[in-house]
Amino acid sequence: MRKDVIDLSRAVPPVVPALEAALAKSIEARVYRPDAGGLLRTNRPRGTEEDRRTGAEWISQRLGFTPDIDRMIVTNGTLNVLFLLLNHLVGRSGTLLTEEMTYPNMQALSGILGFNIRGIPMDREGLKPDAFEDVCRKIDTSKVLYTIPTVQNPTAAVMSSGRRVEIATIARRYNVLIIEDDAQALMVEDAGAPIATLAPELTWYVMGLAKTVVMGMRVAFLMAPRAGDAAALMEKFGKMSMWFVAALHAELAQAFVANRTAHEATTSIRKIAASRRRIAAEVLQRPDLAGGPLGLHVWVPTRPDARSLASEALAAGVLVRPGFQFAAELVPTGAMQGLRVSYCETRNEDDLRRGLAILAKIISARNAWPDTAATSGH
């Protein structure tokens, strides 16, 4: 890949100067203390009580209550959480239900763990309830749903409150376990209640710090439906240290939440993302994008073939991700004709504008804007 490529492919938060300034002070406060050696020399399976208390406090912003720490597990990032849960809940030859476009590592996890993926059609709000129920009705084996209701990846869709109730009701009707990934949910100030609050007995709730605080902090918080469910997961994987949260990261997470550095970083990231989103709407001449929910990316529908558009953009020095890279199943659908454009990876706004202008020119030259471009909600 060219060294001068403008990267609009990674949905990562912008760098927040105040957080960088707080980093050295927080490390010093945690490391230069009498018991630092003991803190950093021991593994943290599940996280310490203080780690789990920190996680419970952090996710309470979305849940509206602070969960008991016996339901909490702290891990080395969201991907580790998903690896554990998919192995534990779905297993080899099982079937995972998910949106037809989803977290791109799902195909890799499927290959490693041996489960099948069933993509469910989507609309402007994400997962379609009627399609979800139809699949539930037809599958006889145990079912697990992985969903991203808030700032869906890659479409950036946000489920309405009513849609969330529908999904929870269907899941309860067919006894479907749910893995709810709320990675970017704190970007949306008025997002609907998590499904975990609507079907708590079925839902494993996941939120990390990488998308709304700082990318390099590999700390994720998992809330199990019940304390016994968390204990069962630990009994199965409790000695496999590759997923344990790193001690220094855990200590920094504690510090950042306690001194509110994490909260302030999230507020700053929202403001920067809002500004970047307006730039994307302006340069791409898609005013609908400016009014969408906040997040670290936007979905730009195109005519076929999005894959070739992305290839042409890369040749011109701009990296974006076409829809097929997010396919839950390997058979393409019409919904996948589009590009995920992320706007916070590059620090320089001039680079962002230049990259977006190149992309807009390519889409226009190929007459690849869809007829609905002026009114699309994604």
Condensed to tens digits (0 to 9), the pLDDT of residues 49-65 reads 999 999 999 999 999 99
59-108 pLDDT per residue, tens = 999 999 999 999 999 999 999 999 999 999 998 888 999 999 999 999 99
pLDDT at 240: 86
Query: Residue 196 pLDDT > 60, yes or no?
Result: yes
357-369 pLDDT per residue, tens = 999 999 999 998 9
Q: In 3D, which of 368, 370, 356 has the Cα closest to residue 313?
A: 356
Domains of the chain: 6-17+262-365 (3.90.1150.10), 37-259 (3.40.640.10)
Mean pLDDT of 201-221: 94
7-38 pLDDT per residue, tens = 999 999 998 887 777 777 777 666 666 666 66
Mean pLDDT of 184-191: 91
pLDDT at 2: 64
Dihedral of CA 7/8/13/17: which sign?
Answer: positive
The answer to whether 27 and 360 have CB atoms below 8 angstroms apart is no
Query: Residue 163 pLDDT > 80, yes or no?
Result: yes
255-273 pLDDT per residue, tens = 899 989 999 999 999 999 9
Mean pLDDT of 294-311: 92
pLDDT at 241: 85
Report the distance separating Cα 6 and Cα 2, nearest Å: 9
The answer to whether 155 and 378 have CB atoms below 8 angstroms apart is yes
Q: Which two tokens stand for residue 13?
A: 């938060």
